[in-house]
Structure 1
Amino acid sequence: MLASRTKRQRMLYAVGASLAAVGLMAGCSAETGASNTEPTNASVEGNSATGDTITIGFSGPAADHGWLGAINSAALAEAKKYPDVDLKVAEGTNDANLQISQVEGFINDKVDAIVLLPTDGAALTEVALQAMAAGIPVINVDREFSSTFAARVTILGDNYGMGVSAGSFVCDQVGDNPNAIVAEIAGIDSLPLTQDRSKGFSDALKDCGLVVSNRVAADFTVQGGEASTSQLLAAAPKIDALWNHDDDQGIGVLAAIDAAGRDEFIMVGGAGSANAMREIQNPASVMKATVIYPSTQAADGIRLARLLVQGKAMSDLVEVEIPSRIVLNAPVVTSDNVDRFLPTAFES
């Protein structure tokens, strides 16, 4: 009875998250009760119609990570789709002070909107507030500001949902063994996103009576993933399931697993790299799944900034205003659906 109930709970969570993500995509919509067929600012045709040219400033961290590189390239590609968008791109940086000065430059240039993936959400909050006070809407991507007043729109991946998705998959695979040993390789423990992922994972495992038995933290790099995994494998002579938070560091994780000659467990990745998905396609690999953390967030931010400044709305919603907060879904990729996700996956 408990297994059936908790499985239904996980299904409801996944369906609810999927519905939230669907609202982000511009698909077909019907103007319920409309008396004419003219395009409006809340229709697909109205959304895509060329409007007044707007200038969008975009700033993000340095692309020193496969996922971050994909974030930046997707944003640039999205802007090129629109002849009415002039995109000003600041050089990627991991220096919060430099990024603050970049945003100040956008404010001085009187851009129409700013899409900002902050290297540190708290550190960039004050300058984002300044932009908002100057009448420039800010679209906050991935790492949240510490004030809700610092952004008109916040668009996020679902870090807690990633953990839930990973934990639910582990439960489905080994949950019938009450003594299953579950291991976890986190990212940087001081980051809220890592804490959220770990909490979601732990909460989902509780549904099938499991806990994390062995845990280490890495640093989102290949080298860190390999070193931390070697440490974990030495401490845990037997593992049934392992979740690695990040597919970029997962290259090192897999290298350590191969070097140790371990293959008695299943592995779940995180973020959704092409490398991980090719591993999933290999029946001999321990890698059986990965959880998507969308690399489209800044591209979505560009699209939303355009709609916002041009006074348009999202065509899949009845609401005539752009939402203030959007959280994207965290689906699980397995051998059953990998062909759907691989073509748009990023390379680590």
Structure 2
Amino acid sequence: MAIRKRLMLLVSLMVILSSFMAACSSSTSGGEKKDGKLVIGAAMPVFDDKWLSYLYDSMKAAAKDKDVDLKMVDAKNDSGKQLSQVETFITQGVDAIIINPVDTSAVGPMLDEAKDANIPVVIVNRMPSEKDMKKIYAFVGSESIQSGTMQMEKVADMLGGKGNVAIMTGELGSEAQIKRTEGNKNVVKKNPDMKVVREATGNFQRSEGMKLMENWIQSGDKINAVVANNDEMAIGAIMALEAAGKLNDVIVAGIDGTPDALDYVKSGKLKVSAFQDPMGQGSKSVETAIQAAKGEKLADKNVWVPFELITQDNVDTFIEKWKNAGAN
């Protein structure tokens, strides 16, 4: 009887131990789920944005290719809503979180909560502050200062290193506005015969770029080139210059290489753009989040997807890229 009691006690202990291990396994937030798939939460700023839609589509395609469960949500350009969505991902115990911030200055609390839960974060497209960069696993995107530099270098070359330049900046305080403009001005400083005669914001919008250009035309200032922080403002400037019969006298440059902009480059109206690759950023963000979930170490926290210069000579290459991505 004593032996039988010991056996029964041993069996009971094994059952208890097995239950305990199973409970521990199910409570971990960083491991693989029951179906073997990693789960990645993707907190995106707004779904109703043409350029970002290609970023999202490439993220979904990469997740499917890598057999990862991607949960993507729309913050509708509300930082408070985005924080709540990140908190939901944390509660769900996702393996990693990708954030494209509504507002980079408001991303800190999201990163703090994810860090407390031991969930790695990858930020895509919109670079946070230096302080917040220390809290994330990686940033995936394109280096804004590079685009402003290559854009203005090409304009300087086309102007022969001399002339009056007007700079259309994006939303003031945004990383893209600050760094793209900085790249522009660094090039102007290296060309003593070039001068910035006008600088104002068009908030990245075509309609505001058009109004701004109309005001500059009315001012009577001599402007040899309009260099815009993005293609939409550049297109607005082109519309105003064309309406005033002055487009042939002014070089216009943009950034992003959107499908609309490429049509303007093809026609010769937009002389320069710099391709920012949403497909590359999207796929890289998912690949990097998978590395984060698996605890892999990165050699560099910045995962760059380089800008590429666009002119009329190579525009067809970029038109083809958008076609392959399903753009009209």
TM-score, with normalisation over the residues of structure 1? 0.76
Counterpart of 2:45 in 1: which secondary structure?
Answer: coil
Q: Is the 8 A contact 1:166 1:268 kept in 2?
A: yes
Letter in 2 for 1:342: I
Counterpart of 1:329 in 2: which secondary structure?
Answer: coil
Counterpart of 1:270 in 2: which secondary structure?
Answer: coil
Q: Is the 8 A contact 2:168 2:233 kept in 1?
A: no
Counterpart of 2:252 in 1: which secondary structure?
Answer: strand
Superposed, which structure 2 residues align to 1:312-327 within 5 Å?
A: 321=298, 323-327=300-304
Superposed, which structure 2 residues align to 1:128-139 within 5 Å?
A: 128-139=111-122
From the superposition, tell whether residues 175 and 205 of structure 1 become closer, same or farther in structure 2 (CA, over 3 Å). farther
What displacement does 1:106 show?
Answer: 0.3
CA distance in 2, matches of 1:214, 1:236: 12
Partner of 2:179: 196
Higher relative contact order, structure no. (Cα contacts within 8 Å, ≥ 6 residues apart): 1
CA distance in 1, matches of 2:40, 2:258: 28
Partner residue of 2:222 out of 215, 218, 238:
238
- Note if 1:162 corresponds to 2:139: no
Runs of 5+ consecutive residues of structure 2 not aligned to the other structure: 1-34
Superposed, which structure 2 residues align to 1:221-236 within 5 Å?
A: 221-236=205-220
- Note if 1:334 corresponds to 2:311: yes
Partner of 1:72: 56
Q: Count matched residues.
A: 286
Counterpart of 1:93 in 2: which secondary structure?
Answer: coil
CA distance in 1, matches of 2:282, 2:134: 20
Letter in 1 for 2:251: I
Letter in 1 for 2:103: D
Letter in 1 for 2:160: G
What displacement does 1:301 show?
Answer: 0.7
Partner of 2:77: 94
TM-score, with normalisation over the residues of structure 2? 0.80
Q: Is the 8 A contact 1:189 1:217 kept in 2?
A: yes
Q: Is the 8 A contact 2:226 2:234 kept in 1?
A: no
CA RMSD of superposed structures (Å):
2.2
CA distance in 1, matches of 2:155, 2:99: 35
Percent of pairs identical after alignment? 26
- Note if 1:145 corresponds to 2:122: no
Letter in 2 for 1:165: M
Runs of 5+ consecutive residues of structure 1 not aligned to the other structure: 1-50, 313-319
What displacement does 1:110 show?
Answer: 0.3
CA distance in 2, matches of 1:234, 1:216: 15
Counterpart of 1:89 in 2: which secondary structure?
Answer: strand
CA distance in 2, matches of 1:259, 1:135: 57
Partner of 2:252: 267
Structure holding more helix per residue: 2
CA distance in 2, matches of 1:196, 1:57: 29
Choose 324-333 or 272-281, whichever is displaced more.
324-333
Over alpha carbons, which structure has the higher Rg?
2
Q: Is the 8 A contact 1:121 1:143 kept in 2?
A: yes
Counterpart of 1:150 in 2: which secondary structure?
Answer: coil
What displacement does 1:185 show?
Answer: 1.3
Superposed, which structure 2 residues align to 1:24-63 within 5 Å?
A: 52-63=36-47
Letter in 2 for 1:73: D
Counterpart of 1:90 in 2: which secondary structure?
Answer: strand
CA distance in 2, matches of 1:242, 1:293: 20
- Note if 1:207 corresponds to 2:190: yes
Partner of 1:315: none
CA distance in 1, matches of 2:221, 2:230: 23
What displacement does 1:100 show?
Answer: 0.1
What displacement does 1:117 show?
Answer: 0.5
From the superposition, tell whether residues 167 and 236 of structure 1 become closer, same or farther in structure 2 (CA, over 3 Å). farther
CA distance in 2, matches of 1:228, 1:327: 32
CA distance in 2, matches of 1:324, 1:192: 18
Q: Is the 8 A contact 1:96 1:123 kept in 2?
A: yes
Counterpart of 2:273 in 1: which secondary structure?
Answer: strand
Partner of 1:7: none
